[in-house]
Amino acid sequence: MFNIEEFDIKLDTEVIGRNFVYCDEVGSSNRLLLETDEYSKHGTVLLAEFQSQGRGRKERVWLSNSGQNLTFSILLKEKLKENYVNFINLGASLAVAQSIENLYQLKVELKWPNDVLINKKKVAGILLESVSRGNKIDRLVVGIGINVNQPSFQTKFEIPPTSIRSEFNELISRERLLSDILNNFENILTMLHHSSDKILSDWKSRCKMIGEKIKIIEGENAKYGILEDINEKGFLVLKQGENSELIHYGDVTLR
Ligand code: ATP
Q: Which of 28, 64, 157 to mutate to test the pocket of ligand 1 (most atoms within 8 A of CB)?
A: 157
Q: Which of 204, 223, 243 is the last residue of a domain?
A: 204
126 CA from centroid of ligand 1 (Å): 9
Which of the listed residues 180, 204, 228 is the one where a domain comes to its end? 204
- For residue 193, which amino acid is it? H
Do 180 and 233 lie in one domain? The reply is: no
- 32 and 136 part of one domain: yes
| pLDDT of the residue at 251 | 67
Task: Give pLDDT, residue 79.
Answer: 81
Same domain membership, residue 141 and residue 66? yes
Q: Ligand 1 pocket by C-beta < 6 Å: which residues?
A: 56-57, 60-64, 115, 122, 125, 127, 147, 157-159, 161, 253
73 shares its domain with 91 = yes
- Which strands form 45-51's sheet, in the order they lie side by side? 20-26, 45-51, 70-76, 136-146, 121-133, 115-118, 109-111
Residue 253 CA: which ligand 1 atom is closest? Answer: 4
Query: Same domain for 22 and 61?
Result: yes
pLDDT computed for residue 253 by the predictor: 84
Buried/exposed code over 143-164 (b: 16+ C-beta within 10 A; e: otherwise)? bbbbbbbbeebeeeeeeebbbb
Q: What is the pLDDT of residues 184-232, one digit of tens each?
A: 999 999 999 999 999 999 999 999 999 999 999 988 899 999 999 999 9
Q: Answer yes or no: do 63 and 171 share one domain.
A: yes
Residue 17: which CATH number?
3.30.930.10
C-alpha distances in angstroms, 202 versus 44, 143, 184, 252?
26, 21, 12, 23
Q: Which domain holds residue 237?
A: 213-254
Low-confidence ranges of the chain (pLDDT < 50): none
The atom of ligand 1 lying closest to the CA of 60 is 18
What is the Å distance from ligand 1's center to 58 Cα?
10
How many structural domains does the chain have?
Answer: 2
- Same domain membership, residue 174 and residue 153: yes
Same domain, residue pair 21 and 123: yes
* Residue 58 neighbours by CB distance under 10 Å: 10
Residues 124 and 191 both lie in one domain: yes
Q: Which atom of ligand 1 is nearest to the CA of 153?
A: 27
232 and 175 in a single domain? The answer is: no
Please tell me whether residues 200 and 217 are part of one structural domain. no
Do 184 and 233 lie in a common domain? no
CATH number of the domain that residue 238 is part of: 2.30.30.100
Q: What is the pLDDT of residues 18-30, one digit of tens each?
A: 999 999 999 999 9
Amino acid occupying residue 205: S
d(CA 62, ligand 1 centre) in Å: 6
The DSSP line for the chain is ---HHHHHHH---SSTTTSEEEEEEES-HHHHHHH-TTS-STT-EEEEEEETT-B-GGG-B----TTTSEEEEEEE-SS--HHHHHHHHHHHHHHHHHHHHHHH----EEETTTEEEETTEEEEEEEEEEEEETTEEEEEEEEEEE--S-----S--SSPB--HHHHHSS---HHHHHHHHHHHHHHHHHTTTT-HHHHHHHHHTT-TTTTSEEEEEETTEEEEEEEEEE-TTS-EEEEETTEEEEE-GGG-EE-
Domain's final residue, options 186, 204, 222: 204
